Structure 1
Amino acid sequence: MKNEFSTMRSTTPHRFSRRGFLKTAGGLSAALAFSASLSACSADAATSGRRRIEAGISYTLSTGFDPMVTSGATPMAANLHLFEGLVDLHPATRKPYAALATEMPQRVDATTYDIQLREGARFHDGSPVTPDDVVFSFERVLNPENGSAALSFVSFIDRVEPQGSHGVRFHLKYGFTLFNERLSAVKIVPRAIVEKDPKAFDARPVGSGPYSFVRALKDNRIDFQKFEDYNGPYPATVDEMTWFLLSDAAARVTAQDSDRVQAIEDVPYLDTRWLKDRSDLEQVPSFGMLFIMFNLQKPPFDNVLVRQALHYGLDTERVIQRGLLGNGAAATSYMHREHPDYMPAETVYEYNPQKAADLLSQAGVDSLKFTVFSTDTAWVKDVMPVILESWNSLPGVSVDLKALQSGALYAQNVDTGEYGVCVAPGDPSVFGNDLDLLLSWWFRGKTWADKRFHWAGTPEHTQTLELMDRAVRTENHDEAKKYWGQAINIIADQVPLYPIFHRKLPTAWHGNELKGFQPLPTTGLSFLGVERA
């Protein structure tokens, strides 16, 4: 393996950026371990004659796979292939399609919908998908004691009941115009298996998707195999699939450059230009943001003028150019420009250090010294020095940085209320893409608005929720956008949590080996409907 790796490196030195070389040198052991693992897979596949897809994933397994509770980037992406909703969103286009449903839901009236299940649909253990499984799947999410992240997305559902051997009926608490799209937030699971041993199901998931789960090795790989009995719209096109968990960027880029995998996510920005010479590569605009979150219980950040000042005092274009090499767009709204419901906010925070200084003066703040808390995510670490440079250039402002692993950041500083200012990444679009869902993630429920940035209960937060409620209860989309726009204007003015920029997600793949592959506007990779050429 060592000689093979050395030969590959010596014959392709022009493909490595300075940073890529340093990363490869630092991550040599990871690259070698990956090479050995993949060589073994390739040998097995060659012996069996099976068709395979291999991919490089940038995140390790931080949670299990149970779709009711998982929020990890890697299991969320894996579950696209393992589970189905009644309606799902195509991972790349984000358009809804009938998955376990035979067709899109049939509206009976404003609060009643009927759905027929796909005939012959089965779970990976061979058992049929039944209306009882559907009812169970929704009831467990709707039960607040289960702590499902999806609860806030489907809280408009009153109850679900079976109808015959293949149907279910949904009763809503009120008319909800995004019903079809929102069904994708709940994946259908086999009741008998989950009730028998929930922990085992979390570790060894059983769904009805085109691929079934084989094994997962933490910090190493996830193996899938074709589900022969799948009869849905996106059947598996290969016999086996392996995702290598390559959190080390050097190992991930090396794997792609050496043709050892067919696709990788999260290409380091400094490596995108030269990797284009070797692979297909696209930087997809996304909702994924870097946001500033303030603790409104900690002065002076309870003063909206101080919060606005720190946004005006940020040279966002310089942050994007230096930290992301241009692979982002400064926020002009809560949404990114490519979203179908994008509308600019009335308040746009263009760089204006004089206005920032004036706002601090109006707030009576002559000296502002604080620590900004952030995550140790690689691209976030690249932009934070530029952010600090902007803020520290403001008169009377002194800022230092404490970067932590994401779990520690929230457990030790955010959830305890120790922080004053937090800069962190976020992207709830992995759960869905409608505007209400993307707003609800941070502004509905108790986790964020109540317990983290402490905006809940204010007149502005109450008004925001009222506008969001009006938007989803009107059947006129233009009217709904009017209400959403008003809500966004309040959020943009108050900035309890608000984006600095929305970034582009670089994905690399070998188009001559993967037919129909599309990069995603979220973390992860999708091989639904993708063929191995």
Structure 2
Amino acid sequence: MDNNGLSRRNLLRFAGILGAATTITAGLGACGEGGDSSGASGKTIEATLAFTLSSGFDPMNASSAVATTVNQHVFEALVDLDPITRKPYPALASALPSAGGDGLTWTVTLRDGAKFSDGTPVTADDVVWSFQRALDPASKSLMASFITFLDTVTAKDPRTVEFKLNSPFSLFPQRVAVIKIVPKAKTGDAAAAKAFDTAPIGSGPFTVVSANATAGVVMGVNPHYNGPRPAKVEKVTLRTTPDNTARLNDLQGGSSQAIEAVPYLDVSAVSGGKKVDEKQAFNQLFLMFNCTAAPFSDKRVRQALHYAIDTDKLITTALQGHATAATSYLDEGNAGYQKAATVYGYDPDKAKSLLAAAGVTNLSFELVTTDTAFVKDSAPVLIDAWKAIGVTATLNTNPSSAVYGTIVPGAGFRVLAASGDPTVFGPDVDLLLRWFYLNDTWTKNRHRWATTPEAKRCAQIIEDAAKTSGTAQTGLWKQALDLIAEEVPLYPVLHAKMITAFDPAKLKDFQGAATTGLYFLGASRG
């Protein structure tokens, strides 16, 4: 345990999806059941992901980019978010949840005949269990902070579930997507849950056939699936490598029909009829400060380091133009985007005056970064920008596991540059604000902003917004976005673009996503 009572294991759970290529020391064993179905075409989709498998698959705590990608194919929530459009659709539910007249009661009916991949029926008891285990503090669930509005979850009959809320929450129909439904019989105790983590059983169209930390994941077909997005191939093979050249070679050589994270320098090199799909994403390069350590406890110092950055130069130099300068915590492609009252345009004179006003001279510190490619490429540009205003930063680059496991929680930590993208869990404003500004792992153990009056005010605004809707909710979110932009305990410098490449002659009905991962729900081979 560290000094904040969080185990290293739990810290790594939170770190995995936001960091880059963390590794696990041993391969996950063969797991799951393969299968066939009359809807499968008899062909295999092969693709290459940009990250290695660094967590298990239990959706209550799955944290790695690979695991969350796989889980979108293997598990279902009552309502799922389309991985491309991010729009909610009934998955295990027969229809979108219906609200009672009191605004605190929601009812969901399960799809008739839904079964897990082991052939057992999906019941209301499984749904209740899936929510209860996530809410149980002993589970230390990654999803718990997203469903704090829940009071009780009850099975009214084998196919009907009733949710009682502790306060109105207008985003309920889409927020339930964060809880994937698991069989109670396979996760009912600690031993079973541990086995389930490497041998998952879901009700989605695919199953996990094998998984390995370095070799990747093979998915087969769930022969019992009767939902809205049946498998159109018999197998999906997901190779995993953070090596940019290897991914590009897989696509160009024909061994993969799709790859994620096309290297920025190599976008123009994609040829031979292959298609590049580029989407603006929330995925951000952010600066995070230890807000309890002087001089970074003074927001003027934090602001100064942002104003010193020529973000256009950074985007051109490190990302070859494939990003957008941050004008809010949210990216401009987000449906809830609102421009912040404070926008950090390039202004080195203002940066110097802020440092002077804070009484700071000859500032020097260690800049910690993760080893994500565009973060590593950005670090020298940041250091040069700060040097131009008389600030000295030395570089310390490490894998995400070390950054979030030991360096950031340590007493000597001051400034971090890293990437983050919680939109894999959902794109709504409430969820995204909660991730970095109400989650104890971030607010208390990382940027350490939680105890300030401003942080408490921000938390109250977010909670108040959750209880309302429409223009009132939008107005409160604007207050939170403005406050965060002024305080910058953790704040984006830019929002990167997600670049996917694929072979349209060999892959049908496929698009790149605006999050990490490749998704093949509804896709088939040409």
With normalisation by structure 1, the TM-score equals 0.89
User: Helix, strand or coil for the counterpart of 1:119?
Assistant: coil
Task: Show the counterpart of 2:500.
Answer: 507
Match of 1:434 among 420, 423, 428: 428
Q: State the aligned residue count.
A: 484
Q: Where do 1:433-512 residues align within 5 Å?
A: 433-475=427-469, 477-512=470-505
Q: Where do 1:122-141 residues align within 5 Å?
A: 122-141=115-134
Letter in 2 for 1:411: G
1:48-97 alpha-carbon deviations (Å, 9 max, x no partner): 99311111011111111000111100000000000000001000000000
Q: Which moved more, 1:382-391 or 1:73-82?
A: 382-391
Letter in 2 for 1:316: T
CA drift of 1:116 comes to: 0.2
CA drift of 1:478 comes to: 1.6
**Unaligned runs of at least 5 residues, structure 2:** 1-39
Match of 1:203 among 189, 198, 207: 198
Q: Where do 1:59-98 residues align within 5 Å?
A: 59-98=51-90
Name the larger-Rg structure: 1
Task: Show the counterpart of 1:521.
Answer: 514
Task: Show the counterpart of 1:232.
Answer: 227
2:140 paired with 1:147: yes
Match of 1:159 among 152, 156, 181: 152
**What is the alpha-carbon distance in structure 2 between the residues aligned to residue 413 and residue 49 of structure 1?**
49
**What is the alpha-carbon distance in structure 2 between the residues aligned to residue 92 and residue 99 of structure 1?**
15
Q: Residues 324 and 71 of structure 1: is their aligned pair in 2 closer, same or farther, counting only changes over 3 Å?
A: same
Letter in 1 for 2:459: L
User: Helix, strand or coil for the counterpart of 2:441?
Assistant: coil
CA drift of 1:457 comes to: 2.2
| 1:295/1:417 contact within 8 Å kept | no
**Unaligned runs of at least 5 residues, structure 1:** 1-47
CA drift of 1:245 comes to: 1.2
2:172 paired with 1:179: yes
User: Helix, strand or coil for the counterpart of 2:211?
Assistant: strand
1:265-297 alpha-carbon deviations (Å, 9 max, x no partner): 011111111205541101210000011000011
Letter in 2 for 1:64: G
| 2:125/2:158 contact within 8 Å kept | no
| 2:282/2:330 contact within 8 Å kept | yes
**What is the alpha-carbon distance in structure 2 between the residues aligned to residue 214 and residue 78 of structure 1?**
11
User: Helix, strand or coil for the counterpart of 1:201?
Assistant: helix
1:457-513 alpha-carbon deviations (Å, 9 max, x no partner): 2111111111112211113x2221110000110110011110000000110011122
Higher helix share: 1
CA drift of 1:445 comes to: 2.9
Give the CA RMSD over aligned residues.
1.2
Task: Show the counterpart of 2:240.
Answer: 245
Match of 1:301 among 291, 296, 304: 296
| 2:408/2:446 contact within 8 Å kept | yes
1:299-319 alpha-carbon deviations (Å, 9 max, x no partner): 100011111100101111111
Letter in 2 for 1:335: L
| 1:63/1:70 contact within 8 Å kept | yes
Letter in 1 for 2:313: R
| 2:371/2:397 contact within 8 Å kept | yes
1:321-354 alpha-carbon deviations (Å, 9 max, x no partner): 0000000001000101111111100000000000
CA drift of 1:362 comes to: 0.5
**What is the alpha-carbon distance in structure 1 between the residues aligned to residue 447 and residue 229 of structure 2?**
41
| 1:257/1:278 contact within 8 Å kept | no
Match of 1:50 among 27, 30, 42: 42
Letter in 1 for 2:79: V
**What is the alpha-carbon distance in structure 1 between the residues aligned to residue 461 and residue 405 of structure 2?**
31
**What is the alpha-carbon distance in structure 2 between the residues aligned to residue 156 and residue 530 of structure 1?**
35
CA drift of 1:363 comes to: 0.6
| 1:417/1:452 contact within 8 Å kept | no
Q: Where do 1:220-299 residues align within 5 Å?
A: 220-299=215-294
**What is the alpha-carbon distance in structure 2 between the residues aligned to residue 217 and residue 317 of structure 1?**
40
**What is the alpha-carbon distance in structure 2 between the residues aligned to residue 98 and residue 529 of structure 1?**
15
CA drift of 1:417 comes to: 3.3
Task: Show the counterpart of 1:119.
Answer: 112
**What is the alpha-carbon distance in structure 1 between the residues aligned to residue 397 and residue 242 of structure 2?**
18
CA drift of 1:112 comes to: 0.3
**What is the alpha-carbon distance in structure 2 between the residues aligned to residue 275 and residue 416 of structure 1?**
43
1:390-427 alpha-carbon deviations (Å, 9 max, x no partner): 111113x1111100111101122111232111111111
2:371 paired with 1:379: no
**What is the alpha-carbon distance in structure 2 between the residues aligned to residue 278 and residue 403 of structure 1?**
37
CA drift of 1:103 comes to: 0.1
User: Helix, strand or coil for the counterpart of 1:284?
Assistant: strand
User: Helix, strand or coil for the counterpart of 2:443?
Assistant: coil
| 1:262/1:509 contact within 8 Å kept | yes
Q: Where do 1:303-342 residues align within 5 Å?
A: 303-342=298-337
User: Helix, strand or coil for the counterpart of 1:447?
Assistant: helix
Percent sequence identity is 43
Letter in 1 for 2:178: A
| 1:94/1:433 contact within 8 Å kept | yes
Letter in 2 for 1:224: M
CA drift of 1:247 comes to: 2.3
Task: Show the counterpart of 2:407.
Answer: 413
**What is the alpha-carbon distance in structure 2 between the residues aligned to residue 146 and residue 272 of structure 1?**
42
Q: Residues 380 and 448 of structure 1: is their aligned pair in 2 closer, same or farther, counting only changes over 3 Å?
A: same
Task: Show the counterpart of 2:33.
Answer: none
**What is the alpha-carbon distance in structure 1 between the residues aligned to residue 412 and residue 176 of structure 2?**
37
**What is the alpha-carbon distance in structure 2 between the residues aligned to residue 231 and residue 504 of structure 1?**
35
Q: Which moved more, 1:444-453 or 1:60-69?
A: 444-453
User: Helix, strand or coil for the counterpart of 1:176?
Assistant: coil
CA drift of 1:102 comes to: 0.1
Task: Show the counterpart of 2:95.
Answer: 103
With normalisation by structure 2, the TM-score equals 0.91
| 2:277/2:511 contact within 8 Å kept | no
Q: Which moved more, 1:428-437 or 1:407-416?
A: 407-416
User: Helix, strand or coil for the counterpart of 2:416?
Assistant: strand
**What is the alpha-carbon distance in structure 2 between the residues aligned to residue 277 and residue 495 of structure 1?**
45
Q: Residues 330 and 276 of structure 1: is their aligned pair in 2 closer, same or farther, counting only changes over 3 Å?
A: farther
**What is the alpha-carbon distance in structure 2 between the residues aligned to residue 499 and residue 81 of structure 1?**
30
CA drift of 1:257 comes to: 0.5
2:398 paired with 1:404: yes
User: Helix, strand or coil for the counterpart of 2:418?
Assistant: strand
Letter in 2 for 1:347: T
| 2:324/2:496 contact within 8 Å kept | yes
Q: Where do 1:341-356 residues align within 5 Å?
A: 341-356=336-351
| 1:215/1:222 contact within 8 Å kept | yes
**What is the alpha-carbon distance in structure 2 between the residues aligned to residue 221 and residue 312 of structure 1?**
42
